[in-house]
Amino acid sequence: MSVMTIILIIIVALLAGMGGILDEFQFHQPLVACTLIGLVTGHLAEGIILGGSLQMIALGWANIGAAVAPDAALASVASAIIMVLGLEGGATNVQNAISTSIAVAIPLSVAGLFLTMICRTITIPIVHIMDKAASRGDFRAIERWQIISILIQGIRISIPAAALCIVPASVVTNALNQMPDWLSTGMAIGGGMVAAVGYAMVINMMSTRETWPFFALGFVLAAIGQLTLIALGIIGVALAIIYLGLKGNGGNGGGGVSSRDPLGDILNDY
């Protein structure tokens, strides 16, 4: 990798690490992080495929209060770098490199969770410093330490990313090629099963009377090979607009209709 490519990867990793805690700009999402890594390394198509596969796995990962989900940032960035190193090292089977990266992403997410625990422990004294600054009314100091603490979360991803970039691509390729067939095949099968869990979670979230017809319609449209992704996106947006319009009218000239989903009715009331 060139020096400029490594710098761009570190910047993407920094943004992903901060996004994994802020949950604001979504740079840590696999579809975004892997796509950006693929873009800066010249493997955009492979990055999108890897990001889309990992995104289905990470759909249920969400930070709730102090409980932090498995780290999608490190899983996305590190697995994308491993995939790129494998491809640049002369890996002939692109699908094998992607499947291996998907399987490696799961333990990487657990390792990232351990790293964020260390970063949160480091920020404890920073919080006390900010409390003292607040008692003095020093808002500039509060902002300064806030930026430092969130940069620490970004550095926890950028340092492993930089370390992976330094590793020669041939080393990663040799390690992938030396994996026995039973292990690589098993990792590919396991990655596919985990992706199926992501699809099942999507179905579980959308399993209402109103959305099942659209779910079935999607399979029909996907079978039409002439439709591009842009065409499918336009059809999806059009169907969403039609659905919202019919739902607003109530389907009977403006009268309200219950969705037979108690939680959905409560949310609609608000």
Let me know if residue 163 belongs to a domain: yes
Q: In whole angstroms, what is the distance from residue 11 CA to residue 33 CA?
A: 11
Share of the chain above pLDDT 70, in %: 73
Q: Which residue, chain included where needed, has tokens 């095949």?
A: 185
Q: Which pLDDT band holds residue 189 (cuts at 50, 70, 90)?
A: low
54 contacts 70 by C-beta, under 8 angstroms: no
Tell me, yes or no, whether 266 and 145 share the same domain. no
Mean pLDDT for the chain overall = 77
Q: In whole angstroms, what is the distance from residue 83 CA to residue 50 CA?
A: 9
More confident site: 208 or 25: 25
Let me know if residue 197 belongs to a domain: no
More confident site: 27 or 186: 27
Tell me, yes or no, whether 176 and 222 share the same domain. no
More confident site: 265 or 157: 157
Tell me, yes or no, whether 172 and 237 share the same domain. no
Tell me, yes or no, whether 118 and 244 share the same domain. no
Tell me, yes or no, whether 162 and 120 share the same domain. yes
Of these ranges, 141-150, 173-182, 207-216, 259-268, the one predicted with the greatest mean pLDDT is: 141-150
Of these ranges, 155-169, 174-188, 193-207, the one predicted with the greatest mean pLDDT is: 155-169
Let me know if residue 192 belongs to a domain: no
Q: Which pLDDT band holds residue 11 (cuts at 50, 70, 90)?
A: very high
Q: How many domains does the chain have?
A: 2
Q: Is residue 3 over pLDDT 80? A: yes
Tell me, yes or no, whether 13 and 108 share the same domain. yes
Q: Which pLDDT band holds residue 194 (cuts at 50, 70, 90)?
A: low
> Which residues, at least 6 apart from 208, have a Cβ–Cβ distance to it below 8 Å?
259, 261, 264
Q: Is residue 175 over pLDDT 70? A: no
Instruction: Say how many residues make up the chain.
Output: 270
Where in the sequence is the domain holding 44, given as residue range(s)?
Answer: 3-180
Tell me, yes or no, whether 173 and 219 share the same domain. no
Q: Is residue 255 over pLDDT 70? A: no
**Confidence (pLDDT) at 254:** 46
Domain boundary (180, 215, 249) is at: 180
End-to-end CA distance of the chain: 53
**Confidence (pLDDT) at 36:** 92
Tell me, yes or no, whether 72 and 167 share the same domain. yes
Let me know if residue 199 belongs to a domain: no
**Confidence (pLDDT) at 93:** 67
For the chain, the DSSP string reads --HHHHHHHHHHHHHHHHHHHH-SS-TTSHHHHHHHHHHHHT-HHHHHHHHHHHHHHGGG---BTTBPPP-HHHHHHHHHHHHHHHHHTT-S-HHHHHHHHHHHHHHHHHHHHHHHHHHHHHHHHHHHHHHHHHHHT-HHHHHHHHHHHHHHHHHHHHHHHHHHHHS-HHHHHHHHHTS-HHHHHHHHHHHHHHHHHHHHHHHHHH-STTTHHHHHHHHHHHT-TT--HHHHHHHHHHHHHHHHHHHHHTTTTS-----S-HHHHHHHH-
Q: Is residue 112 over pLDDT 60? A: yes
Tell me, yes or no, whether 160 and 231 share the same domain. no
pLDDT tens-place string over residues 121-138: 888 899 899 999 999 888
Tell me, yes or no, whether 99 and 212 share the same domain. no
Interaxial angle between packed helices 94-136 and 3-22, expressed in degrees from 0 to 180 and rounded to the nearest 10: 60
**Confidence (pLDDT) at 197:** 64
More confident site: 168 or 38: 38
Q: Which residue, chain included where needed, has tokens 């990232």?
A: 112
What pTM value is reported for the model? 0.63
Tell me, yes or no, whether 164 and 248 share the same domain. no
Residue 270's alpha-carbon distances to 179, 246, 251, 263, in angstroms, are 55, 19, 20, 11
- Mean pLDDT within 125-152: 90
Tell me, yes or no, whether 20 and 65 share the same domain. yes
pLDDT tens-place string over residues 61-100: 665 555 566 778 888 888 888 888 877 766 556 777 777 7
